[in-house]
Amino acid sequence: EAGVTQSPTHLIKPRGQQATLRCSPISGHTSVYWYQQALGLGLQFLLWYDEGEERNRGNFPPRFSGRQFPNYSSELNVNALELEDSALYLCASPGGSVFYEQYFGPGTRLTVT
């Protein structure tokens, strides 16, 4: 089965603009988790989508938003970009029916200039 895919690999945007990142979970899996990883730091939970609904969000401002489509792919939008939004954004799909085993996509490196 195909793994988690993300696009684009790299994204460079000027401050104040909007960025859109995309993720497709493992085929047949309905959940998508989004994480932010600033350079040299740990992973911070952003958003969790399941069955098309936002189930939970981390401690991030409302300009971080997203959605999940009927095919379970997901989109993360970051509005009014700030320099500190520069980070690796990772999408994960839980393995099987247990969410503690997460499979990550390769990530999107967002650079805000």
Which of 21, 34, 68, 105 lies at the binding interface for other proteins (CB under 8 A)?
Answer: 105
Q: Which is nearer to other proteins, 7 or 56 (CB)?
A: 56
Question: Rounded to 5 degrees, what are φ and ψ at 73?
Answer: -70, 165
CA distance 113 to 95: 36
Question: Rounded to 5 degrees, what are φ and ψ at 62?
Answer: -65, -15
42 binds other proteins (CB under 8 A): yes
Q: Are 74 and 32 spatial neighbours (Cβ–Cβ below 8 Å)?
A: yes
Residue type, 29: H
Q: Which is nearer to other proteins, 86 or 99 (CB)?
A: 99
Which range of residues in 15-23, 60-68, 75-83, 100-108 is near other proteins by CB under 8 A?
100-108
100 binds other proteins (CB under 8 A): yes
**Which residues sit at the interface with other proteins, rule CB under 8 A?**
33, 35, 41-45, 48, 55-56, 58, 90, 95, 98-107
